[in-house]
Amino acid sequence: MDEVLDSAAGEPGATRAPPILPLTLESVSYAVRGKVLLEHIDLQLHAGARTLVMGPNGAGKSLLMRICHGLIRPSAGRVAWAGRQPNAQAMVFQRPVLLRRTALANVEFALKHAGIAARDRRRLALAALEQAGLAPIAQRQARVLSGGEQQKLALARAWALRPQVLFLDEPTASLDPAATAAVEDLITDIHASGTKIVMSSHDLGQARRLADEVLFLHRGRVTERTPASEFFAAPRSQAAQAFVQGRLYWE
């Protein structure tokens, strides 16, 4: 099969598995053909706060998210979870990867892939679509849905499995304001259910609406990590100041 699901796991409604957080990165670097894209990242992510990863294009946001999720191995350093529960985290991408099936079948397939019993899949999939406001289109083909509906379906598919951590890589970058608002509402609901949100975004307004803390990257380095209110009121680094003010910064 040539398609890849946004990964996730953990049976909905069941008692949560032992926590996998905090996630610790120690001296993590990544280079391609001698070009350093991430350099000496030391970071620990804890449960609770919504972490927004911000920075200009090329700062390393998506790369850092993929390394945290385990899609890419760092060139150097160590990535370690506190617990080793298989598939207790998920990632949804800017362009969701959907199967050539109905919306309902997409969620059911993810549940099957995670080992959920056949007798439970339909009920759990329908519940996830209902929570995402997608129940009326459960039988529509996923790939003919609007961009906003596709992104909500990708989120519902991940949320159906109740991951402890959900990585979101620019999930509203190509959406109009109405679709963006709907996706943000769903992200808020997922966070309220107890899932840790780690999300990259270049949208300052979105970050102000969603972030509890901001992790700011510049040229492959974490230049600051602060509560969101402090970051937007008085960013510490010159690069972050320029970013918040909408100015170009070249150094």
What b/e string do you get for 138-151 counting C-beta neighbours within 10 Å, with b at 16 or more?
Answer: beeebeebeebbbb
**Virtual torsion, Cα 98, 102, 105, 109, nearest 10 deg:** -20
Query: Of 229, 84, 68, 93, which is closest to residue 157 (Cα–Cα)?
Result: 93
Average pLDDT of the chain to the nearest whole number: 91
Q: Whole-angstrom Cα distance, residue 151 to residue 155?
A: 6
Query: Of 94, 95, 97, 96, which is closest to residue 202 (Cα–Cα)?
Result: 94
Query: Of 66, 63, 88, 85, which is closest to residue 9 (Cα–Cα)?
Result: 88
pTM of the model: 0.90
Average pLDDT (79-96) is 87
* Strands (E) located in the chain: 23-32, 35-45, 51-54, 76-81, 89-92, 165-169, 196-200, 213-218, 221-227
The count of other CB atoms within 10 Å of the CB of residue 54 is 26
**Dihedral sign from CA coordinates of 205, 243, 187, 104:** positive
Q: What is the pLDDT of residue 17?
A: 73
159 pLDDT more than 60: yes
Average pLDDT (197-217) is 96
| pLDDT, tens digit, 9 for 90 and up, residues 105-118 | 999 999 999 999 99
Q: Which helix (H) or strand (E) holds 118?
A: helix 118-131
Judge whether 45 and 196 are in contact, CB under 8 Å: yes
10 pLDDT more than 50: no
Query: Of 69, 83, 78, which is closest to residue 168 (Cα–Cα)?
Result: 69
2 pLDDT more than 80: no
| pLDDT, tens digit, 9 for 90 and up, residues 163-177 | 999 999 999 998 999
